[in-house]
Amino acid sequence: DVKVTQSSRYLVKRTGEKVFLECVQDMDHENMFWYRQDPGLGLRLIYFSYDVKMKEKGDIPEGYSVSREKKERFSLILESASTNQTSMYLCASLRGAATNEKLFFGSGTQLSVL
Amino acid sequence: QKEVEQNSGPLSVPEGAIASLNCTYSDRGSQSFFWYRQYSGKSPELIMSIYSNGDKEDGRFTAQLNKASQYVSLLIRDSQPSDSATYLCAVNRNQGGKLIFGQGTELSVKP
Distance CA A79, CA A95 (A): 29
* Average pLDDT for A16-41: 93
CB contact under 8 A, B97 and A106: no
CA distances from B100 to A72, A83, B81 (A): 23, 25, 28
What residues of chain A lie within 8 A of the CB of B51, using their CB? 99-100
A20 vs chain B: nearest CA distance in angstroms?
A: 20
Q: Which of B4, B45, B97 sits opposite A101 (nearest CB)?
A: B97
Rounded to the nearest angstrom, the minimum Cα separation between B76 and chain A is 21
CB-based contact, B88 to chain A, within 8 Å: yes
- Residue B55 · residue B64 · CB < 8 Å: yes
Q: What is the pLDDT of residue A69?
A: 94
Residues A90 and B44: their CA atoms lie apart, in Å, by 9
Rounded Cα gap, residues B69 and B86, in angstroms: 24
Interchain CB distance below 8 Å, A103 and B97: yes
pLDDT in tens, A47-106: 999 889 889 999 899 999 999 999 999 999 999 999 999 999 999 998 776 656 778 899
Minimal CA separation from B89 to chain A, in Å:
9
A32 vs B78: CA distance, rounded Å:
36
- Digit-coded pLDDT (tens) for B1-45: 678 999 878 999 999 999 999 999 998 888 889 999 999 989 999
What is the mean pLDDT of the segment spanning B62-87?
96
Q: Minimal Cα–Cα distance from B79 to chain A, Å?
A: 23
Whole-number pLDDT of residue A105: 93
* Residue type present at position B52: S
A90·B44 Cβ contact <8 A: yes
Q: Sort residue A107 into left (φ over 0), alpha (ψ -120 to 50) or beta.
A: alpha
**Do residues A21 and A7 lie in contact, with contact meaning Cβ atoms separated by under 8 Å?**
yes
- Set of chain B residues whose Cβ sits within 8 Å of the Cβ of A59: 100
d(CA A12, CA A110): 8
Residue of B nearest to A48 (CA): B98
Neighbouring C-alpha atoms within 13 Å toward the C-beta of A90? 22
Q: How many CB atoms lie within 10 A of CB B19?
A: 24
CA-to-CA distance for A103 and A32, rounded, in angstroms?
A: 9
By percentage, how much of chain B surpasses pLDDT 70? 95
Burial grade of A73 (CB within 10 A; 0-12, 13-18, 19 or more): middle
Per-residue pLDDT at B95 exceeds 90: no
Quote the pLDDT of residue B47. 93
* B21 C-beta neighbours (distance < 10 Å), count: 22
Q: Given B46, B96, B99, which is nearest A50 (Cβ)?
A: B96
Tell me, what's the pLDDT at A99? Answer: 59
For the beta sheet containing B54-58, the strands, ordered from the edge strand earlier in sequence to the opposite edge, are B4-6, B19-25, B71-76, B61-66, B54-58
- CA nearest B36 in A: which residue? A103
Once rounded to an integer, what is the mean pLDDT over residues B52-58? 95
Q: Please give the Cα distance from A22 to B30 (Å, whole number).
A: 31
List chain B residues with CB under 8 Å of A35. Answer: 101
